Amino acid sequence: MRWQDREQAAGFGFEVDLGPFELDPPPASAADADGRFRLGTFRSVWAAPEVQASPALRFLHPRQHVELSPADAQRLGVLEGDRVVVGSNGSSVHGTVALRAAMPPGSVFLQNAIPEDSASALDGPLVEVRKA
């Protein structure tokens, strides 16, 4: 039996909506007229000081990958493995292109919480991407 279905759960005196939930789909293309991209960030499970300090795990420590859709990569003239610069408001980070077929066009994903070229150095929801 699930906890919320038990008699004891009723003692809390409030009702919680347990779903299902609906989310609005992202726009078909997030790139605005001047070619900037919507920035998304994520943290790798390997982005930890323990991984960097351990000789046995050091090869797992993440480096910056710039995840792009194949259509955006073609528009920018970059290929898988090319080095690019991602910038916003005077700040920039470098990374290696990783093409993802499931990426929505007009979006770019970068890792944050890594020691070099972390996405947390960028300011703003829109960024520019160019070949290094």
Q: Confirm if 94 and 84 have CB atoms less than 8 A apart.
A: yes
Count of beta carbons in the 10 Å neighbourhood of residue 119:
24
Give the up-direction half-sphere exposure of residue 23: CA atoms within 13 A in the CB hemisphere.
3
Work out the mean pLDDT of the chain and round it to a whole number: 84
Q: Which domains does the chain have, with CATH numbers?
A: 39-131 (2.40.40.20)
> pTM of the predicted model, to two decimals?
0.71
The confidence score (pLDDT) of residue 81 equals: 95
Q: What is the pLDDT of residues 58-116, one digit of tens each?
A: 888 888 999 999 999 999 999 999 999 999 988 999 999 999 999 888 999 999 988 88
Round to whole Å and give the CA distance between 3 and 22: 24
Q: Is 4 exposed, middle or buried (0-12, 13-18, 19+ CB in 10 A)?
A: exposed
